[in-house]
Structure 1
Amino acid sequence: MKIYFERSGGFVGRTVSTEVDTNQIPLELALSLLTKVEDASFFDLPEMPGLSLEGFSGADQMCYKVTVEVAGVQHTVETSDSNAPEQLQPLLRELSQLARANPQPGGPVVPGSSERRR
Structure 2
Amino acid sequence: MKILLVDDESELVSALAERLSFRGLDAEWVCSGAEAIDKVKDNEYDLAVLDVKMPRMSGLELRTELDRIRPGMKYIFLSGHGSEEDYNAGAAKAECYLVKPVKIEELVDKINQALKSD
TM-score by length of structure 2 reads 0.28
Which structure would you say has the larger RCO, counting Cα contacts within 8 Å and 6 or more residues apart?
1
More helix by share: 2
Max Rg structure: 1
Normalised to the residue count of structure 1, the TM-score between the two structures is 0.28
